[in-house]
Structure 1
């Protein structure tokens, strides 16, 4: 195999093999550093993907609602304001104006995947002596469940809805002492009243949501909230979830609606994600720097130890470029081999963590996402880091004067 290698490669590999102990130590350090980077990157990706999927499967990506009602000051003919203080009016439950036309336009957009109408309002849920204030959301299950994947969170019963059925959260069911098949009496502030049967109980992983949210058929909510033929929201999903705010602003600019994206309604979530990403990036950067300085330190020591060998090579006719390449190759080989071992360590740590880190009921904490590209990029970056770290030692070796190096 050596006959296929250049002089620089042969000399670099010879230098590495002769200093087995220091080579082994630096390979171990590189492997640990790369393993930490692989483990943290995969964990961060898994956590963020799990959180994002949780958010996106429990609410629409964009919600279109009627504009807020605004109080206008009274003016006399001479343009003098009659009322000096204008208070914000209470927001009534209103239907979207010409919602059928808006719905058709949304379904015609190329950047919108699903558009479906819904009606939302508040009511009082009563069962026996127990009562709770709840939020009613009426929708068309076939379309709405493609946006909010409520069937995936059903813990009891089923997600099918008839005109006299209702889906309630786990905490609300516990507060009312209700189970699947029990009756709930829903009463609204405008006089609506309906007795509904609990068809299913869901758990969205949020106590506040589980205590308040209820789901019924669209016509049932329209009847309860006295909005026959009207809708209060149009729920949308878009082709690019991270462009939802841009799409919402565009819709709000051309239509008389209030368009809110999931990015705005979950601002704190994005703040936490950005903070988590930044902290992880800083940790990985410091680990990478420690690996680079470790490689540089080993190569500098190697230059000092082999100054006579370098002088002899220069005296025998080796060029400065060949000496330079010897130590750059050493840095690249250390980075590449260390990255391979580090990727294996990182993968083993991820599998061990996923196997033993469990919820109290034995279920996984969240799905582990490991992308093959993570290992490829880790190997490439570690190799480049090794080459870059070897630049200073390589330049120092190439500048050695042969006579002075041999004299020692």
Structure 2
């Protein structure tokens, strides 16, 4: 019965009455503040999760899970090294590559690019580049035919398409009897790919490995081996095993090392955004303090009557804790619902806002990706909801304690 009466009174105090409409208004603003804070936190963290997943997927679509290179020199015996690394049960496929910087020239357009020589039949199992071909096919690269595959943005900047010819100029200088000359060769565009990441679409070109070896004068040597694993998250452990097995002459680097600063920056940004937006929830939650302080002042007569009827200080404290927690619970529940709804439909909401505003929030030439991704993590949702509820509870303690300290005689003196 005592618990029932505490809940009944505590919940009744959350409803507006003629005498305390301003208190109820403050309660409503607290609820709205908590709702907005929780909603913003869920949406932003979901978008950050989506960014991290999208970037990882697109980066790994162009880069290997693990890369094996020689320490300070190219790989001359890449076939034997490939056999040794393929013996690791975690390695699914291995592909050699030759990589260098080059200059592409078509008509009056010139652009620099990273030129990668590949074996198409070996490269396909390692990366997803074949699945992102817009025109042509990766198999169009044949040894001695001097074909080239370009990123979509690079092809547009050069004004070329499949079947067009361009000049590839090596960054290395060839020494001739008449002096130093840049190595150059005419190539035919046999394909255009688009992975959706501007850095790669704008700055990457692929040719056959034999053609790269001929252009860059590497002989039978390659720059390294690119490996695909059965689990991308096991890459650090596999890289450590390969470094131990291959010895000091070789170096195995996993994708988390080659992109460490990038992903660390994303994680730091995610943490900072969580802290900043948590302050919104904290400010809204501690508005409950002012709400309950005003409510305690308004209800001193009621408190005194309850005390004279036998209510204990603990019961009075419980009544006001229930009032404050109920306010926080409503704001948290509504915020979680709205936040989940927005996060799950961000791919529809953002394009609608862009069309309405007539602008694009994320131009591809500025950002790595041109769409706003989202991945809702229920663990994050639970953490945010628990944090908001905990802050709401903490905000009730001092006003509720003050209410329990009200003396009936003093409170009824002027009644």
TM-score, normalization by structure 1: 0.76
- Which residue is 1:325 aligned to? 318
SS across alignment from 1:379: helix
1:379 to 385, 406, 412: 385
> Are 2:306 and 1:308 aligned?
no
- Which residue is 1:367 aligned to? 373
Deviation at 1:240, TM superposition (A): 5.9
Aligned equivalents of 2:37, 2:412: Cα separation in 1: 37
- Which residue is 2:180 aligned to? none
Aligned equivalents of 2:267, 2:322: Cα separation in 1: 38
Aligned equivalents of 2:281, 2:59: Cα separation in 1: 33
1:66 to 51, 66, 70: 70
- Which residue is 1:8 aligned to? 6
Aligned equivalents of 2:296, 2:255: Cα separation in 1: 57
Aligned equivalents of 1:48, 1:166: Cα separation in 2: 31
CA gap of 1:104–1:297, structure 2 versus 1, over 3 A, is farther
2:46 to 36, 42, 55: 42
1:138 to 101, 114, 117: 117
Contact in 2 for aligned 1:334/1:383 (Cα 8 Å): no
- Which residue is 2:179 aligned to? none
Gaps of 5+ in 2: 176-182
TM-score, normalization by structure 2: 0.75
Q: Which moved more, 1:181-190 or 1:208-217?
A: 181-190
2:36 to 32, 36, 43: 32
Contact in 2 for aligned 1:333/1:383 (Cα 8 Å): no
1:148 to 94, 117, 127: 127
Deviation at 1:330, TM superposition (A): 2.1
Deviation at 1:279, TM superposition (A): 3.2
SS across alignment from 2:97: strand
- Which residue is 1:214 aligned to? 205
SS across alignment from 1:367: coil
CA gap of 1:317–1:174, structure 2 versus 1, over 3 A, is closer
Aligned equivalents of 1:142, 1:328: Cα separation in 2: 68
CA gap of 1:388–1:102, structure 2 versus 1, over 3 A, is farther
SS across alignment from 2:117: strand
Aligned equivalents of 1:130, 1:42: Cα separation in 2: 41
- Which residue is 1:53 aligned to? 57
Deviation at 1:67, TM superposition (A): 0.8
Give aligned pairs, total: 381
CA gap of 1:43–1:302, structure 2 versus 1, over 3 A, is same
CA gap of 1:395–1:224, structure 2 versus 1, over 3 A, is same
Contact in 2 for aligned 1:328/1:391 (Cα 8 Å): yes
Aligned equivalents of 2:53, 2:9: Cα separation in 1: 47
Q: Which moved more, 1:18-27 or 1:218-227?
A: 218-227
Aligned equivalents of 1:156, 1:64: Cα separation in 2: 31
Aligned equivalents of 2:40, 2:111: Cα separation in 1: 49
SS across alignment from 1:287: helix
Contact in 2 for aligned 1:153/1:203 (Cα 8 Å): yes
Contact in 1 for aligned 2:94/2:225 (Cα 8 Å): yes
Per-residue CA deviations over 1:240-263 (Å, capped at 9, x if unaligned) read: 656645643553344231233333
1:236 to 222, 227, 244: 227
CA gap of 1:198–1:240, structure 2 versus 1, over 3 A, is same
- Which residue is 2:354 aligned to? 357
CA gap of 1:140–1:21, structure 2 versus 1, over 3 A, is same
Deviation at 1:318, TM superposition (A): 2.4
Aligned equivalents of 1:394, 1:225: Cα separation in 2: 78
Matches within 5 A, 1:36-185: 36-69=40-73, 94-97=74-77, 99-121=78-100, 135-141=114-120, 144-163=123-142, 164=145, 165-170=147-152, 172-174=154-156, 177-183=159-165
Deviation at 1:200, TM superposition (A): 0.8
Deviation at 1:215, TM superposition (A): 2.0
* Superposition RMSD in Å: 3.9
Aligned equivalents of 1:286, 1:107: Cα separation in 2: 51
SS across alignment from 1:322: helix
SS across alignment from 1:400: coil
SS across alignment from 2:139: coil
Gaps of 5+ in 1: 70-93
Contact in 1 for aligned 2:127/2:228 (Cα 8 Å): no
Deviation at 1:16, TM superposition (A): 1.1
CA gap of 1:124–1:294, structure 2 versus 1, over 3 A, is closer
Matches within 5 A, 1:182-221: 182-183=164-165, 197-204=188-195, 209-210=200-201, 213-221=204-212
